[in-house]
Amino acid sequence: MKVLPGLDIDVLVRGPTGIWLLESKYYVGIVRYKDGKWQHIKSGGEEALDLTEQWERERDAALEVLEEAGLLREHLWLRPAVRGGVAFTHGQVETDIDESCPIAWNIPWGWVEVITTAKAWPKLSLEMRLKVIDAFLERHHALQGEKGISAVEVAQSICKRY
The span from the CA of 39 to the CA of 49, in Å, is 6
Pairwise CA distance, residues 72 & 85, whole Å: 21
Tens digits of per-residue pLDDT, 62-106?
999 999 999 999 999 999 999 999 999 999 999 999 999 999 999
Q: Tens digit of pLDDT for each residue in 27-44?
A: 999 999 999 999 999 988
Mean of all residue pLDDT scores within the chain: 90
Q: pLDDT per residue over 144-159, tens digit each?
A: 887 766 766 766 776 7
Q: Is 92 exposed, middle or buried (0-12, 13-18, 19+ CB in 10 A)?
A: exposed
Per-domain residue ranges of the chain: 2-161
**In 8-106, alpha helices (H):** 51-68, 71-74
Report which of residues 155 and 58 the model is more confident about.
58
Q: Which residues pair with 62 in a beta bridge?
A: none
Question: Do 120 and 17 meet the contact criterion of CB atoms below 8 Å apart?
Answer: yes
